[in-house]
Structure 1
Amino acid sequence: MLSTASLAETAALIGDLARASMLAALMDGRALTAAELAQLAGISPQTASGHLAKLTQAGLLSVEKQGRHRYHRLASPSVAHMLEHIMSVSVEREAGSQARGPRVVTGPRDKALRYARTCYDHLAGEIAVAITDSMIAAGHIELTPEAGALTEQGTRFLHDLGIEPEACAQHAAPRRSTRVFCRPCLDWSERRHHIAGTLGAALFQHYLKQGWIRRPEGTRSVTVTPAGQQAFARLFGVRP
Protein backbone atom coordinates (compact mmCIF):
# COMPACT_ATOMS: atom_id res chain seq x y z
CA MET A 1 0.00 0.00 0.00
CA LEU A 2 1.32 3.44 -0.93
CA SER A 3 2.34 5.57 2.02
CA THR A 4 2.41 9.35 1.99
CA ALA A 5 6.07 9.15 3.01
CA SER A 6 6.88 7.11 -0.11
CA LEU A 7 4.92 9.54 -2.27
CA ALA A 8 6.78 12.49 -0.78
CA GLU A 9 10.14 10.76 -1.27
CA THR A 10 9.45 10.09 -4.95
CA ALA A 11 8.25 13.65 -5.49
CA ALA A 12 11.37 15.03 -3.78
CA LEU A 13 13.63 12.92 -5.99
CA ILE A 14 11.99 14.20 -9.16
CA GLY A 15 11.72 17.75 -7.82
CA ASP A 16 15.46 18.40 -7.95
CA LEU A 17 16.31 20.35 -11.13
CA ALA A 18 19.37 18.28 -12.04
CA ARG A 19 17.59 14.98 -11.46
CA ALA A 20 14.55 16.18 -13.39
CA SER A 21 16.80 17.14 -16.30
CA MET A 22 18.40 13.70 -16.36
CA LEU A 23 15.06 11.90 -16.15
CA ALA A 24 13.68 14.02 -18.99
CA ALA A 25 16.75 13.20 -21.10
CA LEU A 26 16.00 9.48 -20.70
CA MET A 27 12.42 9.85 -21.92
CA ASP A 28 13.45 8.79 -25.43
CA GLY A 29 13.97 5.25 -24.14
CA ARG A 30 17.72 5.14 -24.72
CA ALA A 31 20.40 4.48 -22.11
CA LEU A 32 23.04 7.12 -21.31
CA THR A 33 26.22 7.17 -19.27
CA ALA A 34 26.70 9.27 -16.15
CA ALA A 35 29.02 11.58 -18.07
CA GLU A 36 26.44 12.15 -20.80
CA LEU A 37 23.69 12.81 -18.26
CA ALA A 38 25.96 15.16 -16.30
CA GLN A 39 26.58 17.21 -19.42
CA LEU A 40 22.87 17.39 -20.20
CA ALA A 41 22.07 18.48 -16.65
CA GLY A 42 24.92 20.98 -16.48
CA ILE A 43 26.55 19.41 -13.42
CA SER A 44 29.82 17.64 -12.66
CA PRO A 45 30.14 13.87 -13.22
CA GLN A 46 30.68 13.38 -9.48
CA THR A 47 27.45 15.21 -8.64
CA ALA A 48 25.60 13.30 -11.35
CA SER A 49 26.80 9.97 -9.93
CA GLY A 50 25.28 10.85 -6.56
CA HIS A 51 21.97 11.80 -8.12
CA LEU A 52 21.90 8.67 -10.28
CA ALA A 53 22.59 6.45 -7.29
CA LYS A 54 19.57 7.90 -5.48
CA LEU A 55 17.32 7.50 -8.51
CA THR A 56 18.47 3.91 -9.00
CA GLN A 57 18.00 3.04 -5.34
CA ALA A 58 14.47 4.44 -5.50
CA GLY A 59 13.65 2.22 -8.47
CA LEU A 60 13.26 5.05 -10.98
CA LEU A 61 16.34 4.08 -12.97
CA SER A 62 18.04 0.83 -13.89
CA VAL A 63 21.72 0.35 -14.71
CA GLU A 64 23.23 -1.87 -17.39
CA LYS A 65 26.94 -2.69 -17.48
CA GLN A 66 28.71 -3.16 -20.79
CA GLY A 67 32.46 -3.47 -20.55
CA ARG A 68 33.79 -0.56 -18.55
CA HIS A 69 30.68 1.51 -19.07
CA ARG A 70 27.51 1.78 -17.02
CA TYR A 71 24.38 2.85 -18.84
CA HIS A 72 21.36 4.36 -17.13
CA ARG A 73 17.79 4.12 -18.38
CA LEU A 74 14.29 4.56 -16.98
CA ALA A 75 13.45 1.52 -14.89
CA SER A 76 10.06 0.82 -16.49
CA PRO A 77 7.35 2.22 -18.76
CA SER A 78 5.39 3.19 -15.64
CA VAL A 79 8.17 5.64 -14.72
CA ALA A 80 7.96 7.19 -18.19
CA HIS A 81 4.17 7.33 -17.88
CA MET A 82 4.48 9.15 -14.56
CA LEU A 83 6.96 11.66 -15.98
CA GLU A 84 4.77 12.34 -19.02
CA HIS A 85 1.82 13.11 -16.74
CA ILE A 86 3.95 15.39 -14.57
CA MET A 87 5.04 17.25 -17.71
CA SER A 88 1.39 17.63 -18.73
CA VAL A 89 0.43 19.00 -15.30
CA SER A 90 3.43 21.36 -15.37
CA VAL A 91 2.40 22.75 -18.74
CA GLU A 92 -1.17 23.29 -17.52
CA ARG A 93 0.16 25.08 -14.45
CA GLU A 94 2.36 27.32 -16.59
CA ALA A 95 -0.53 28.06 -18.93
CA GLY A 96 -2.79 28.90 -16.00
CA SER A 97 -0.29 31.34 -14.54
CA GLN A 98 -0.16 33.17 -17.89
CA ALA A 99 -3.87 32.94 -18.70
CA ARG A 100 -4.25 36.72 -18.98
CA GLY A 101 -1.16 37.12 -21.12
CA PRO A 102 -0.47 36.12 -24.71
CA ARG A 103 -1.65 32.74 -25.98
CA VAL A 104 0.49 30.01 -24.48
CA VAL A 105 1.72 27.24 -26.76
CA THR A 106 1.37 23.95 -24.93
CA GLY A 107 4.26 21.53 -24.65
CA PRO A 108 7.73 22.15 -26.10
CA ARG A 109 8.30 25.39 -27.99
CA ASP A 110 10.29 23.46 -30.59
CA LYS A 111 7.89 22.75 -33.46
CA ALA A 112 9.70 19.53 -34.32
CA LEU A 113 9.17 18.20 -30.80
CA ARG A 114 5.53 19.19 -30.83
CA TYR A 115 4.96 17.43 -34.15
CA ALA A 116 6.72 14.10 -33.51
CA ARG A 117 8.86 12.85 -30.63
CA THR A 118 9.57 9.78 -28.59
CA CYS A 119 7.70 9.13 -25.36
CA TYR A 120 9.92 6.42 -23.92
CA ASP A 121 9.34 3.60 -26.44
CA HIS A 122 6.38 4.91 -28.43
CA LEU A 123 5.49 7.84 -30.67
CA ALA A 124 4.11 11.08 -29.23
CA GLY A 125 3.20 14.53 -30.45
CA GLU A 126 0.76 15.87 -33.02
CA ILE A 127 1.29 13.00 -35.46
CA ALA A 128 0.80 10.33 -32.76
CA VAL A 129 -2.48 11.88 -31.65
CA ALA A 130 -3.64 12.10 -35.28
CA ILE A 131 -2.79 8.42 -35.85
CA THR A 132 -4.68 7.50 -32.68
CA ASP A 133 -7.73 9.49 -33.77
CA SER A 134 -7.63 7.76 -37.15
CA MET A 135 -7.43 4.28 -35.62
CA ILE A 136 -10.36 5.08 -33.32
CA ALA A 137 -12.46 6.45 -36.19
CA ALA A 138 -11.68 3.37 -38.29
CA GLY A 139 -12.74 1.08 -35.48
CA HIS A 140 -9.26 -0.39 -35.04
CA ILE A 141 -8.95 0.48 -31.37
CA GLU A 142 -11.21 1.55 -28.52
CA LEU A 143 -9.67 4.08 -26.18
CA THR A 144 -10.88 5.76 -23.00
CA PRO A 145 -8.89 7.92 -20.57
CA GLU A 146 -8.40 4.80 -18.44
CA ALA A 147 -7.86 1.91 -20.86
CA GLY A 148 -7.52 0.77 -24.45
CA ALA A 149 -8.32 -2.30 -26.53
CA LEU A 150 -7.60 -3.61 -30.01
CA THR A 151 -10.70 -4.64 -32.00
CA GLU A 152 -11.05 -7.49 -34.50
CA GLN A 153 -10.81 -4.92 -37.28
CA GLY A 154 -7.66 -3.59 -35.64
CA THR A 155 -6.17 -7.07 -35.49
CA ARG A 156 -6.72 -7.49 -39.24
CA PHE A 157 -5.27 -4.02 -39.84
CA LEU A 158 -2.10 -4.89 -37.92
CA HIS A 159 -1.78 -8.19 -39.80
CA ASP A 160 -1.98 -6.25 -43.08
CA LEU A 161 0.75 -3.92 -41.82
CA GLY A 162 2.95 -6.90 -40.97
CA ILE A 163 2.57 -6.70 -37.19
CA GLU A 164 1.45 -9.79 -35.28
CA PRO A 165 -0.58 -8.60 -32.25
CA GLU A 166 0.10 -11.85 -30.41
CA ALA A 167 3.84 -11.18 -30.60
CA CYS A 168 3.72 -7.49 -29.69
CA ALA A 169 5.18 -8.01 -26.22
CA GLN A 170 8.19 -9.88 -27.59
CA HIS A 171 8.45 -7.58 -30.61
CA ALA A 172 8.53 -4.39 -28.54
CA ALA A 173 9.81 -5.29 -25.07
CA PRO A 174 10.79 -8.93 -24.53
CA ARG A 175 11.61 -8.43 -20.87
CA ARG A 176 8.34 -6.71 -20.04
CA SER A 177 5.73 -9.38 -20.69
CA THR A 178 3.52 -7.98 -17.90
CA ARG A 179 3.04 -4.63 -19.65
CA VAL A 180 -0.42 -3.43 -20.59
CA PHE A 181 -1.08 -4.27 -24.23
CA CYS A 182 -2.86 -1.06 -25.19
CA ARG A 183 -3.33 2.00 -23.02
CA PRO A 184 -3.83 5.74 -23.46
CA CYS A 185 -0.98 8.13 -22.72
CA LEU A 186 -1.83 11.80 -22.23
CA ASP A 187 0.21 13.80 -24.73
CA TRP A 188 1.62 16.77 -22.84
CA SER A 189 1.84 19.02 -25.90
CA GLU A 190 -1.48 18.09 -27.52
CA ARG A 191 -3.37 17.57 -24.22
CA ARG A 192 -5.02 14.51 -25.80
CA HIS A 193 -4.22 10.82 -25.82
CA HIS A 194 -1.92 8.78 -28.00
CA ILE A 195 -1.36 5.00 -28.00
CA ALA A 196 1.07 3.52 -25.49
CA GLY A 197 1.70 0.06 -24.07
CA THR A 198 3.20 -2.78 -26.10
CA LEU A 199 0.96 -1.88 -29.03
CA GLY A 200 2.34 1.67 -29.11
CA ALA A 201 5.89 0.32 -28.89
CA ALA A 202 5.28 -2.23 -31.66
CA LEU A 203 3.84 0.44 -33.96
CA PHE A 204 6.83 2.70 -33.26
CA GLN A 205 9.30 -0.09 -34.09
CA HIS A 206 7.37 -0.87 -37.27
CA TYR A 207 7.59 2.77 -38.39
CA LEU A 208 11.35 2.70 -37.78
CA LYS A 209 11.91 -0.57 -39.66
CA GLN A 210 9.87 0.63 -42.62
CA GLY A 211 11.97 3.79 -42.78
CA TRP A 212 8.94 6.00 -42.17
CA ILE A 213 10.59 7.79 -39.28
CA ARG A 214 14.15 8.44 -38.09
CA ARG A 215 15.53 9.18 -34.62
CA PRO A 216 18.20 11.91 -34.71
CA GLU A 217 20.85 11.61 -32.03
CA GLY A 218 20.66 13.85 -28.98
CA THR A 219 16.99 14.80 -29.17
CA ARG A 220 13.53 13.36 -28.51
CA SER A 221 12.26 14.73 -31.80
CA VAL A 222 11.46 12.23 -34.56
CA THR A 223 11.87 12.96 -38.25
CA VAL A 224 9.14 11.78 -40.61
CA THR A 225 10.70 10.75 -43.93
CA PRO A 226 9.11 11.38 -47.34
CA ALA A 227 8.19 7.68 -47.43
CA GLY A 228 6.65 8.07 -44.00
CA GLN A 229 4.62 11.08 -45.07
CA GLN A 230 3.14 9.03 -47.90
CA ALA A 231 2.50 6.01 -45.68
CA PHE A 232 0.88 7.98 -42.87
CA ALA A 233 -1.31 9.83 -45.36
CA ARG A 234 -2.38 6.57 -47.01
CA LEU A 235 -2.95 4.56 -43.83
CA PHE A 236 -4.19 7.21 -41.41
CA GLY A 237 -5.06 10.27 -43.46
CA VAL A 238 -2.32 12.23 -41.66
CA ARG A 239 -0.87 15.14 -43.57
CA PRO A 240 2.41 16.88 -42.59
Structure 2
Amino acid sequence: MDSVVSMLGNILIGLLTSLLGIGLGALWQRWHRTRELHRRADFFGARPGEPCVIVSGDKHGRPGTIHKRDLRAVVELAVLLSQLGCRVTVESADLRGGNGDRTEFCVGGPIGGSNPRTGGHLAAHLPGVTIHPFSDHRDSVAITVGDEHYYFDRGHQEYAVVAKFTPPESSRPVVLVCGQSSVANQAAVHFLRREYAAVARSVASLDRYCLLVKVSNIDVYAFHQAVLERDVSAYAFTPA
Protein backbone atom coordinates (compact mmCIF):
# COMPACT_ATOMS: atom_id res chain seq x y z
CA MET A 1 0.00 0.00 0.00
CA ASP A 2 2.80 2.38 0.88
CA SER A 3 4.44 1.80 -2.51
CA VAL A 4 1.14 2.55 -4.29
CA VAL A 5 0.70 5.77 -2.32
CA SER A 6 4.30 6.74 -3.07
CA MET A 7 3.81 6.05 -6.78
CA LEU A 8 0.60 8.09 -6.87
CA GLY A 9 2.38 10.91 -5.04
CA ASN A 10 5.19 10.90 -7.60
CA ILE A 11 2.67 10.98 -10.46
CA LEU A 12 0.83 13.88 -8.84
CA ILE A 13 4.07 15.81 -8.32
CA GLY A 14 5.03 15.14 -11.94
CA LEU A 15 1.66 16.40 -13.19
CA LEU A 16 1.87 19.52 -11.04
CA THR A 17 5.43 20.18 -12.23
CA SER A 18 4.36 19.77 -15.87
CA LEU A 19 1.38 22.09 -15.43
CA LEU A 20 3.57 24.65 -13.69
CA GLY A 21 6.10 24.45 -16.51
CA ILE A 22 3.40 24.87 -19.15
CA GLY A 23 1.96 27.84 -17.28
CA LEU A 24 5.33 29.53 -16.86
CA GLY A 25 6.15 28.85 -20.51
CA ALA A 26 2.89 30.43 -21.64
CA LEU A 27 3.52 33.46 -19.41
CA TRP A 28 7.04 33.82 -20.77
CA GLN A 29 5.84 33.63 -24.38
CA ARG A 30 3.15 36.20 -23.68
CA TRP A 31 5.68 38.51 -21.99
CA HIS A 32 8.09 38.05 -24.90
CA ARG A 33 5.40 38.85 -27.50
CA THR A 34 4.28 41.90 -25.53
CA ARG A 35 7.86 43.16 -25.22
CA GLU A 36 8.48 42.73 -28.96
CA LEU A 37 5.18 44.49 -29.72
CA HIS A 38 6.19 47.50 -27.63
CA ARG A 39 9.71 47.55 -29.11
CA ARG A 40 8.28 47.66 -32.62
CA ALA A 41 5.76 50.31 -31.61
CA ASP A 42 8.50 52.44 -30.05
CA PHE A 43 10.64 52.28 -33.17
CA PHE A 44 7.85 53.27 -35.53
CA GLY A 45 6.33 55.80 -33.14
CA ALA A 46 2.96 54.11 -32.93
CA ARG A 47 0.93 53.22 -29.84
CA PRO A 48 -1.44 50.27 -29.70
CA GLY A 49 -5.04 51.46 -29.89
CA GLU A 50 -4.18 54.97 -31.08
CA PRO A 51 -4.82 56.45 -34.55
CA CYS A 52 -2.29 56.52 -37.39
CA VAL A 53 -2.49 58.09 -40.83
CA ILE A 54 -0.62 56.98 -43.96
CA VAL A 55 -0.08 59.70 -46.55
CA SER A 56 0.66 58.35 -50.02
CA GLY A 57 2.05 60.28 -52.96
CA ASP A 58 0.85 60.28 -56.55
CA LYS A 59 2.44 58.40 -59.41
CA HIS A 60 4.89 60.72 -61.17
CA GLY A 61 3.11 62.67 -63.90
CA ARG A 62 -0.27 61.11 -63.10
CA PRO A 63 -2.05 63.02 -60.33
CA GLY A 64 -4.72 61.07 -58.50
CA THR A 65 -3.10 57.69 -59.10
CA ILE A 66 -0.66 55.72 -56.98
CA HIS A 67 2.26 53.63 -58.23
CA LYS A 68 1.76 49.92 -57.58
CA ARG A 69 4.98 49.73 -55.54
CA ASP A 70 3.92 52.67 -53.38
CA LEU A 71 0.59 50.93 -52.92
CA ARG A 72 2.40 47.80 -51.74
CA ALA A 73 4.45 49.92 -49.32
CA VAL A 74 1.23 51.45 -47.97
CA VAL A 75 -0.34 48.00 -47.58
CA GLU A 76 2.74 46.71 -45.75
CA LEU A 77 2.62 49.67 -43.38
CA ALA A 78 -1.11 49.17 -42.84
CA VAL A 79 -0.53 45.50 -41.97
CA LEU A 80 2.25 46.44 -39.56
CA LEU A 81 0.10 49.04 -37.80
CA SER A 82 -2.88 46.70 -37.64
CA GLN A 83 -0.66 44.13 -35.93
CA LEU A 84 0.20 46.81 -33.40
CA GLY A 85 -3.50 47.38 -32.75
CA CYS A 86 -3.59 50.87 -34.28
CA ARG A 87 -6.52 52.48 -36.08
CA VAL A 88 -5.30 53.27 -39.59
CA THR A 89 -6.55 55.74 -42.19
CA VAL A 90 -5.01 56.54 -45.59
CA GLU A 91 -4.90 60.06 -47.00
CA SER A 92 -3.74 61.52 -50.31
CA ALA A 93 -0.68 63.76 -50.62
CA ASP A 94 -2.80 66.92 -50.68
CA LEU A 95 -3.42 66.52 -46.94
CA ARG A 96 -2.93 69.85 -45.17
CA GLY A 97 -2.37 70.73 -41.53
CA GLY A 98 -0.46 68.99 -38.77
CA ASN A 99 -0.70 65.36 -37.81
CA GLY A 100 -1.92 66.29 -34.30
CA ASP A 101 -2.49 63.19 -32.20
CA ARG A 102 -2.04 60.77 -35.12
CA THR A 103 1.29 59.15 -35.92
CA GLU A 104 1.86 59.98 -39.57
CA PHE A 105 3.60 57.81 -42.14
CA CYS A 106 4.37 59.89 -45.22
CA VAL A 107 5.45 57.79 -48.22
CA GLY A 108 7.05 59.06 -51.42
CA GLY A 109 9.42 61.75 -52.60
CA PRO A 110 8.61 65.34 -53.60
CA ILE A 111 10.10 65.21 -57.10
CA GLY A 112 7.64 66.26 -59.79
CA GLY A 113 5.02 67.08 -57.19
CA SER A 114 4.47 63.41 -56.40
CA ASN A 115 4.19 64.06 -52.67
CA PRO A 116 4.31 67.77 -51.81
CA ARG A 117 3.77 66.96 -48.14
CA THR A 118 7.16 65.22 -48.13
CA GLY A 119 8.71 68.38 -49.52
CA GLY A 120 7.15 70.38 -46.71
CA HIS A 121 8.41 67.96 -44.07
CA LEU A 122 11.93 68.08 -45.52
CA ALA A 123 12.03 71.87 -45.60
CA ALA A 124 10.59 72.30 -42.10
CA HIS A 125 12.28 69.52 -40.18
CA LEU A 126 15.20 68.10 -42.18
CA PRO A 127 17.17 71.14 -43.39
CA GLY A 128 20.34 69.08 -43.74
CA VAL A 129 18.79 66.82 -46.40
CA THR A 130 18.58 67.90 -50.04
CA ILE A 131 16.70 66.00 -52.74
CA HIS A 132 17.96 67.26 -56.09
CA PRO A 133 15.41 67.80 -58.87
CA PHE A 134 15.12 65.62 -61.93
CA SER A 135 17.54 66.76 -64.64
CA ASP A 136 20.06 65.61 -67.25
CA HIS A 137 22.93 66.01 -64.79
CA ARG A 138 24.61 63.39 -62.67
CA ASP A 139 22.96 64.70 -59.50
CA SER A 140 19.46 64.14 -60.88
CA VAL A 141 17.31 62.93 -57.95
CA ALA A 142 20.46 62.57 -55.83
CA ILE A 143 20.22 62.82 -52.06
CA THR A 144 22.73 65.06 -50.32
CA VAL A 145 23.28 64.87 -46.57
CA GLY A 146 26.19 66.82 -45.15
CA ASP A 147 29.08 66.46 -47.60
CA GLU A 148 27.91 63.11 -48.95
CA HIS A 149 26.03 62.60 -52.20
CA TYR A 150 23.94 59.50 -52.85
CA TYR A 151 23.33 59.21 -56.56
CA PHE A 152 20.36 57.69 -58.34
CA ASP A 153 21.19 54.67 -60.50
CA ARG A 154 17.74 53.71 -61.69
CA GLY A 155 17.04 50.02 -61.72
CA HIS A 156 20.37 49.12 -60.15
CA GLN A 157 21.14 51.01 -56.93
CA GLU A 158 18.89 53.52 -55.21
CA TYR A 159 18.42 55.15 -51.80
CA ALA A 160 15.65 56.15 -49.45
CA VAL A 161 15.62 58.58 -46.55
CA VAL A 162 13.70 57.33 -43.53
CA ALA A 163 13.24 59.91 -40.79
CA LYS A 164 11.27 60.13 -37.57
CA PHE A 165 10.57 63.42 -35.81
CA THR A 166 7.79 65.14 -33.89
CA PRO A 167 6.64 68.57 -35.13
CA PRO A 168 6.37 71.16 -32.33
CA GLU A 169 2.64 71.55 -32.90
CA SER A 170 1.94 67.80 -32.75
CA SER A 171 1.79 65.26 -29.94
CA ARG A 172 2.71 62.29 -32.14
CA PRO A 173 5.63 61.78 -34.54
CA VAL A 174 5.94 61.76 -38.31
CA VAL A 175 7.75 58.88 -40.03
CA LEU A 176 8.94 59.94 -43.47
CA VAL A 177 9.82 57.42 -46.19
CA CYS A 178 11.35 59.35 -49.08
CA GLY A 179 12.89 57.14 -51.75
CA GLN A 180 14.46 58.07 -55.07
CA SER A 181 11.79 55.90 -56.70
CA SER A 182 8.81 53.76 -55.74
CA VAL A 183 11.16 50.75 -55.62
CA ALA A 184 13.25 52.49 -52.96
CA ASN A 185 10.09 53.40 -51.01
CA GLN A 186 8.93 49.78 -50.98
CA ALA A 187 12.43 48.51 -50.17
CA ALA A 188 12.76 50.84 -47.17
CA VAL A 189 9.39 49.85 -45.69
CA HIS A 190 10.00 46.14 -46.25
CA PHE A 191 13.51 46.31 -44.81
CA LEU A 192 12.55 48.23 -41.68
CA ARG A 193 9.54 46.07 -41.00
CA ARG A 194 11.84 43.05 -41.03
CA GLU A 195 14.98 44.49 -39.42
CA TYR A 196 13.62 47.16 -37.08
CA ALA A 197 15.09 45.52 -33.96
CA ALA A 198 18.67 45.58 -35.27
CA VAL A 199 18.25 49.12 -36.61
CA ALA A 200 16.77 50.29 -33.29
CA ARG A 201 19.89 49.08 -31.47
CA SER A 202 22.11 51.09 -33.82
CA VAL A 203 20.48 54.52 -33.50
CA ALA A 204 21.24 56.99 -30.72
CA SER A 205 17.58 57.84 -30.09
CA LEU A 206 14.25 56.27 -31.01
CA ASP A 207 12.51 59.63 -30.60
CA ARG A 208 14.29 61.24 -33.57
CA TYR A 209 16.42 59.69 -36.27
CA CYS A 210 17.27 59.96 -39.96
CA LEU A 211 18.50 56.91 -41.84
CA LEU A 212 19.63 56.12 -45.37
CA VAL A 213 18.51 52.77 -46.74
CA LYS A 214 20.27 51.44 -49.84
CA VAL A 215 18.72 48.92 -52.22
CA SER A 216 21.05 47.25 -54.73
CA ASN A 217 20.80 44.92 -57.73
CA ILE A 218 17.25 46.01 -58.34
CA ASP A 219 17.28 44.54 -61.84
CA VAL A 220 17.73 41.08 -60.29
CA TYR A 221 16.29 41.22 -56.76
CA ALA A 222 13.77 44.07 -57.05
CA PHE A 223 13.24 45.61 -53.58
CA HIS A 224 14.59 42.68 -51.54
CA GLN A 225 18.30 43.52 -51.32
CA ALA A 226 18.09 46.51 -48.97
CA VAL A 227 20.48 47.42 -46.15
CA LEU A 228 21.00 50.25 -43.72
CA GLU A 229 23.60 52.41 -45.46
CA ARG A 230 24.11 55.02 -42.77
CA ASP A 231 22.61 56.84 -39.81
CA VAL A 232 22.68 60.51 -40.84
CA SER A 233 20.81 61.93 -37.86
CA ALA A 234 23.77 64.12 -36.89
CA TYR A 235 23.51 66.03 -40.19
CA ALA A 236 19.88 65.81 -41.23
CA PHE A 237 18.35 67.99 -38.53
CA THR A 238 20.99 70.75 -38.83
CA PRO A 239 20.98 73.29 -41.69
CA ALA A 240 23.65 72.49 -44.27
Task: Give the TM-score normalised by the residue count of structure 1.
Answer: 0.25
Between 1 and 2, higher relative CO (CA 8 Å, sep ≥ 6) is seen in: 2
Structure showing the higher helix proportion among its residues? 1
Structure showing the higher strand proportion among its residues? 2
Task: Give the TM-score normalised by the residue count of structure 2.
Answer: 0.25
